[in-house]
């Protein structure tokens, strides 16, 4: 694995993987800071900053930023998540210096002009409105909010119309100076890239970045709480989420949780898809997922169905959870491992996906995880470990439920909690 890592004197880390058969390079800057790093009066500012970074600098207008990268056939974009923010480009190998120059420009010399800020606020308000009109987006926002009530980690990344309208250029600069510091930033490139040349370019162009914040607020660790939120809407279907406290990235059962989610609802061969959709026809979409964060996690099942099928659907899902705590077959683990291995290796064939993999591993673990080590971790997962984990996940934590649509036939959370502790409930109700 030809990955090279250099930590500059400033504290900024540069990581590259040369892929000599390519003519292009995917490169970007990943910051270990996201919506979770906002203070109470900054809700939505991380996402707004990501937008404003492209709206003009001391040397380039917003139009010049777009034109310069597209004049050479390149692409430029960004993304904000709960714990990270990224700015990335893909260009032909000859245009890496230009991409580095633009990325450095937008991250160190953005102008944050009032006129551009007001225009971008309007764009984000439209984005918030569009998200609120999309039930399968809203149901996930409500899910996080109720699972982590009153905490930054549970808030929607976009913010609210009220908070977005309130932001000033100085507030954006304050968030930027506090979070975009070299001790939490990684420049990553994959493709036809020369490590030493890139290091010199980064060292020169990113010299203006602060090495650490002058002061930074202290954020409390996340506390999973669980709970119930449902909204009646006049829709053709119901969007439903049922969740449980999961595992943080660094916890022993993190990879077990990923395997368990795959077995339960990771594809067309998964238990939930086969039983709920194929065998019973109770929904048109069902899958399981596990989100890991730095200090918490959440395990969930999403289903989309007609409201009339809810009385049968929920007990069948709960019954599958109970079955997972009783029996997991070795062949299911092997299939899940094969799927994860294929996703891992296929991702490494794409420079953009590979750069993202490297950045995530550096942010989470401070090092690159070799494929062999990853597969060794997965190889140690046994049926007994999975059934034990399923029992603890599904029966020892308070469930989280989020539902939008015709929800009149959805059982109260108290009944679902009782069902999880009452042997045979799922099967009896589903067949009765």
Q: Is residue 431 predicted with pLDDT exceeding 60? A: no
pLDDT tens-digit series, residues 388-418: 999 999 998 899 999 999 999 999 999 998 8
Rounded CA gap, 399 and 397, in Å?
6
Q: Identify the band that residue 432 occupies on the pLDDT scale cut at 50, 70 and 90.
A: very low
Catalytic one of 38, 42, 50, 120: 50
Q: Identify the band that residue 421 occupies on the pLDDT scale cut at 50, 70 and 90.
A: confident
Rounded CA gap, 146 and 128, in Å?
19
Buried b (16+ CB within 10 A) or exposed e, 295-307: bbbbbbbbbbbbb
Mean per-residue pLDDT for 94-98? 98
Question: What residues contact residue 328 under an 8 Å CB cut-off, 6+ apart?
Answer: 260, 263, 383, 386, 387, 390
pLDDT at 396 (0 to 100) = 87
Label each residue of the chain as H, E or C. Answer: CCEEEEECCCCCEEEEEECCCCCEEEEEEEECCCHHHCCHHHCCHHHHHHHHCCCCECCCCHHHHHHHHHHCCCEEEEEECCCCEEEEEEEEHHHHHHHHHHHHHHHHCECCCHHHHHHHHHHHHHHHHHHHCCHHHHHHHHHHHHHCCCCHHHCCCCCCHHHHHHCCHHHHHHHHHHHCCHHHEEEEEEECCCHHHHHHHHHHHCCCCCCCCCCCCCCCCCCCCCEEEEEECCCCCEEEEEEEECCCCCCCCHHHHHHHHHHHHCCCCCHHHHHHHHHCCCCCEEEEEEEECCCCEEEEEEEEECHHHHHHHHHHHHHHHHHHHHCCCHHHHHHHHHHHHHHHHHHCCCHHHHHHHHHHHHHHHCCCCCHHHHHHHHHCCCHHHHHHHHHHHHHCCCCEEEEEECCCCCCCHHHHHHHHCCCCHHHHHHHC
pLDDT at 430 (0 to 100) = 39
pLDDT tens-digit series, residues 333-347: 999 999 999 999 998
pLDDT at 420 (0 to 100) = 85
Q: What is the mean pLDDT of the chain?
A: 94
Mean per-residue pLDDT for 336-365? 94
pLDDT at 291 (0 to 100) = 97
Taking every pair of C-alpha atoms in the chain, what is the biggest distance, in angstroms? 71
Find out whether 297 and 228 touch, Cβ atoms under 8 Å: no
pLDDT at 1 (0 to 100) = 61
Q: Is residue 426 predicted with pLDDT exceeding 70? A: no
pLDDT tens-digit series, residues 40-80: 999 999 999 999 999 999 999 999 999 999 999 999 999 99
Mean per-residue pLDDT for 206-226? 87
Length of the chain: 432
Rounded CA gap, 103 and 86, in Å?
11
Q: Is residue 424 predicted with pLDDT exceeding 80? A: no
Q: Label the pairing between strands 297-305 and 400-405.
A: unpaired
Q: Is residue 378 predicted with pLDDT exceeding 80? A: yes
Dihedral of alpha carbons 329, 332, 334, 340, sign: negative
In order of start, what are the domains of the chain with their CATH numbers? Answer: 3-205 (3.30.830.10), 227-431 (3.30.830.10)
Tell me whether residue 215 is exposed, middle or buried, using C-beta atoms within 10 angstroms of its C-beta: 0 to 12, 13 to 18, 19 or more: exposed
Mean per-residue pLDDT for 32-37? 96
Q: Is residue 142 predicted with pLDDT exceeding 90? A: yes
pLDDT at 216 (0 to 100) = 76
Q: Is residue 425 predicted with pLDDT exceeding 60? A: no
Lowest-confidence region among 33-37, 168-172, 343-347: 343-347
User: pTM higher than 0.85, yes or no?
Assistant: yes
Q: Identify the band that residue 212 occupies on the pLDDT scale cut at 50, 70 and 90.
A: confident
Q: Identify the band that residue 146 occupies on the pLDDT scale cut at 50, 70 and 90.
A: very high
Q: Which percentage of the chain shows pLDDT scores above 70?
A: 97
Q: Is residue 427 predicted with pLDDT exceeding 80? A: no
pLDDT at 397 (0 to 100) = 85
pLDDT at 423 (0 to 100) = 53
Q: Identify the band that residue 214 occupies on the pLDDT scale cut at 50, 70 and 90.
A: low
pLDDT tens-digit series, residues 240-282: 999 999 999 999 999 999 999 999 999 999 999 999 999 999 9
**50 catalytic residue (yes or no):** yes
Q: Identify the band that residue 422 occupies on the pLDDT scale cut at 50, 70 and 90.
A: low
| First vs last C-alpha separation in the chain | 56
Rounded CA gap, 61 and 59, in Å?
7
Lowest-confidence region among 29-38, 121-130, 215-224, 415-424: 415-424
pLDDT at 213 (0 to 100) = 76
Mean per-residue pLDDT for 198-209? 96
Rounded CA gap, 45 and 37, in Å?
10
Q: Label the pairing between strands 238-245 and 24-31.
A: unpaired
């Amino acid at each position: 694995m030809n990955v090279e890592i250099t930590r500059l004197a400033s504290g900024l880390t540069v990581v590259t993987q040369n892929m000599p058969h390519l003519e292009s390079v995917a490169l970007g800057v990943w910051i270990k800071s996201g919506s979770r790093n906002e203070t109470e009066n900054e809700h939505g500012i991380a996402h707004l900053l990501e937008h404003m970074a492209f709206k003009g600098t001391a040397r380039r207008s917003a139009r010049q930023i777009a034109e310069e990268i597209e004049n050479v056939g390149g692409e430029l974009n960004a993304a904000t998540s709960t714990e990270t923010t990224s700015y990335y480009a893909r260009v032909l190998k000859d245009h890496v210096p230009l991409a580095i120059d633009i990325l450095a420009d937008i991250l160190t010399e953005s102008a944050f002009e009032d006129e551009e800020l007001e225009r971008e606020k309007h764009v984000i308000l439209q984005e918030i409105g569009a998200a609120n009109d999309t039930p399968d987006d809203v149901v996930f926002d409500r899910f996080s909010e109720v699972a982590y009530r009153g905490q930054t980690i549970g808030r929607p990344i976009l913010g609210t119309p009220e908070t977005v309208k309130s932001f000033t250029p100085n507030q954006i600069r304050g968030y930027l100076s506090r979070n975009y510091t070299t001790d939490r930033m990684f420049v990553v490139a994959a493709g036809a890239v020369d490590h030493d040349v890139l290091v010199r370019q980064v060292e020169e162009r990113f010299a203006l970045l602060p090495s650490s914040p002058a002061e930074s607020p202290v954020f409390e660790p996340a506390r999973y709480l669980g709970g119930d939120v449902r909204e009646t809407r006049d829709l053709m279907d119901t969007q439903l989420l049922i969740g449980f406290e999961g595992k943080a990235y660094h916890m022993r059962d993190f990879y077990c949780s990923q395997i368990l989610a795959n077995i339960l609802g990771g594809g067309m061969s998964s238990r939930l898809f086969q039983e709920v959709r194929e065998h019973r026809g109770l929904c048109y979409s069902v899958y399981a997922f596990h989100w890991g964060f730095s200090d918490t996690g959440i395990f969930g099942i999403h289903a989309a169905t007609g409201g009339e099928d809810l009385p049968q659907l929920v007990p069948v899902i709960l019954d599958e959870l109970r079955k997972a705590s009783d029996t997991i077959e070795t062949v299911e683990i092997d299939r899940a491992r094969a799927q994860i291995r294929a996703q891992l290796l296929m991702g490494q064939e794409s420079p953009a996906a590979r750069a993202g993999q490297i950045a995530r591993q550096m942010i989470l673990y401070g090092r690159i995880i070799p494929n062999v080590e990853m597969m060794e971790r997965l190889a140690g997962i046994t049926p007994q470990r999975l059934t034990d984990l399923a029992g603890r996940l599904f029966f020892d934590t308070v469930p989280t439920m989020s539902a939008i649509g015709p929800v009149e036939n959805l059982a109260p959370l108290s009944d679902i909690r009782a069902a999880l502790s009452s042997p045979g409930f799922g099967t009896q109700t589903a067949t009765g």
